[in-house]
Structure 1
């Protein structure tokens, strides 16, 4: 770019040009705890990674007061279990949780209804027991793993119909 006429230049100096950095920095490598060296691991009890899965806790928090909890069921356990299941459904689509994910989880476990099968009520009470405690990761994983991805990927209306016809069809065979 030309200099303004009121700036004097020394005609004996060479024009400045680009010069590269004196050294090239080394390439980045994972070195902190929690950084993965390779692809996301997959396998039993490793969950389903997805973007912003923690938003499911916000969604459950907004509607937990409208859910029908049975005797022996605790709010913290229900919030944690439903959020984990909604996050699994959202991750299966590769997106963050939305209200429909929560609606499917609530319908599968029968929290939207006041009249549910006593067998489902007992299963729900024992399965959700303690999952709100952060130290009970295995219990939360077991709860989420009881519902196959094929059940979660149905539309909310299809889940309502399947639950009304036979709620056991929404769970992994042999775990109910």
Structure 2
């Protein structure tokens, strides 16, 4: 540590220099119990993990005013169901969610269309019902997510929007 100029210093003192410690610890190894070796595992109920997934909630809440719901649908159920689709798309590209992920999710399920096809409304109403109850409906929300094939998730928002509503069945893999 530096000393003030007025501190007397003996001119015969040897200057200090850096010395390595006597003990050098071994290098760190990823051996914690929860450490994943290799890639993220895939399987039933494992979801699609990715970075900064909570940001999708902020994006989804900013899009609520654009959603078109029919009688009997709950906005929170819709957001919860489409969040999973958007997060799956974002994790495919190993990145955080962006507005385009949610745009695709809401579009394929017809929530950005003022008059979605009647058959689509019949399909989505029971699938999305009750999803807002977070802890109780994980399996049901996975059904909503798994309806959207990977080919649809790889498309750009413009491709999905141009294909809806004429090709809604193929966008949902039906």
TM-score by length of 2: 0.83
Query: Is 1:43 equivalent to 2:43 in the alignment?
Result: yes
SS of aligned partner of 2:65: helix
- How far off is 1:92 after superposition? 1.6
CA displacement 1:5-30 (0-9 Å, x = unmatched): 86543355433222223434463655
Partner of 2:78: 78
Greater CA deviation, 103-112 or 20-29?
A: 20-29
Inter-partner Cα distance in structure 2 for 1:102 and 1:5:
64
Q: State which drifts further: 12-21 or 142-151.
A: 12-21
Q: What does the per-residue CA deviation read over 1:41-73, in whole Å, with 9 as the maximum and x for residues that have no partner?
A: 222332222221211111111121321112221
Q: Which runs of 5+ in 1 are unaligned?
A: none
Size of the aligned set, in residue pairs, is: 170
Q: In structure 1, how many angstroms separate the alpha carbons of the residues matched to 2:141 and 2:73? A: 15
Structure 1 vs Structure 2 CA RMSD: 2.6
Question: Residue 165 of structure 1: SS of its match in structure 2?
Answer: coil
**Partner Cα distance (1:160, 1:11) in 2:** 80
2:128 and 2:144 in contact (8 A); partners too: yes
How far apart, CA to CA, are the structure 1 residues paired with 2:97 and 2:35?
Answer: 24
Cα distance in 1 for residues equivalent to 2:133 and 2:24:
48
